[in-house]
Amino acid sequence: MLSRHFLRCKVLQTLYSGRYENLDALTLAHNFDYHVGHLNQLGILQLALLPAIVLSAREVLEDGKKKYHRTHEDENPNMRMVENSFIRRMTDNYEFKKHLAEWGGCWDTHSDLVRETFLDLRTRDFYRDYLANPEEGFAVDKDFAINLFRYLMNREALVTVLAERSLLWEDDFEQIAQYNFMMLKGLEEQAMDEAMQWPLMYDRRREKDEEDMSFARQLLRAALSCKEEAEGLIRQHLQGWEFERVSPMDVQLIIMAVAELVSCPSIPEKVTVDEYIELSKEFSSERSRLFINGILDKLILDLRSQGRIQKSGRGLAEL
């Protein structure tokens, strides 16, 4: 599920890239929708590693049976991971299979890397403990699958494969992996069948996702509309500092904050200020936090005096 903080990050990235490419508003709006929509593709590619490594495991174990000098273990491999009921239910789900067919073929072209990953996995304690665990059933298989997913998301070589497919995916990887991790933990045996609606990071069928996307699109339009006005206000409050020397990222963050203050009446001022200070920690320098906070304090006084900030509702807008 999308968070508004994450969507603010996507709006910021869209505006910042457009600043240097001189893109028009329509193109920027299209780019924003495109990047958010492709988060689902990244999510499915991450999850696709689970059936991919199971397939690789089956091949490795079958190859072991064909060795000329076979051990007892080669002839009688432990197939527990290959038959993991949780991963099997994933791959039997109609929607997940559809998403895999559309987006998940990436790992077919990296079969050597997936095989190498499985060979490393066989040396890991959590894998050996799973094979040796006398307990069986969905819950045990689910716990292993979740631990396996965590292990895969920390394999640098696998992360690099996905990061190279999109410039933005390197920044998005951890956020999407965290979503998938929590989503997998939330799947219950009773609901996890072939017809279950597969959870996506951004799902147009979810009312909240559409509400949050509407907020983000409005924020993007408002930031483009108030750019010149916000830059003028920033210039007014710079003391002993030239506007051209201010970090372009800091300027963009302040423009977005001004846009949100004047165009989102249900979001309290404090929430907006706190959000953009947090964004400055992620995308700018340590000193930017103090600079942005100081400028926004002054701009809010200006905007209030002009009657530009009109807040309504209970002030409990979701982030």
Tens of pLDDT, residue by residue over 59-73, are 988 877 777 777 767
The total of structural domains in the chain comes to 2
**Given 152, 186, 220, which residue is the final one in a domain?**
186
* CATH code, domain carrying 267: 1.10.940.10
216 and 103 co-located in one domain:
no
103 and 152 co-located in one domain:
yes
In whole angstroms, what is the distance from residue 255 CA to residue 231 CA? 7
Per the model's pLDDT, the better-predicted residue between 164 and 139 turns out to be: 139
Supply the angle between the helices 39-47 and 94-103 in degrees, to the nearest 10: 110
How long is the chain? 319
DSSP 228-244: HHHHHHHHHT-SS--GG
Token pair belonging to 263 = 């165009």
**Given 186, 214, 242, which residue is the final one in a domain?**
186
Mean pLDDT, range 179-203, rounded to an integer: 94
Token pair belonging to 245 = 């020397």
Total-model pTM: 0.85
197 found inside a domain: no
Residue 277 in this model has a pLDDT that exceeds 90 = yes
Tell me the residue range of the domain where 151 lies. 39-186
Q: CA 260 from chain center: how many Å?
A: 23
**Given 158, 186, 214, which residue is the final one in a domain?**
186
78 and 154 co-located in one domain:
yes
Residue 318 in this model has a pLDDT that exceeds 70 = no
Single-letter code of the amino acid located at 143: D
Lowest mean pLDDT among 17-26, 74-83, 231-240: 17-26
Give yes or no for a contact between 205 and 48, defined as CB atoms under 8 angstroms apart: no
143 found inside a domain: yes
Q: Which residues contact 30 (CB under 8 A, 6 or more apart)?
A: none
Cα 22 to Cα 6, 25, 144, 221, 284, distances in angstroms: 24, 10, 49, 15, 22
Mean pLDDT, range 281-293, rounded to an integer: 89
Residue 313 in this model has a pLDDT that exceeds 60 = no
131 and 222 co-located in one domain:
no
129 and 177 co-located in one domain:
yes
150 and 211 co-located in one domain:
no
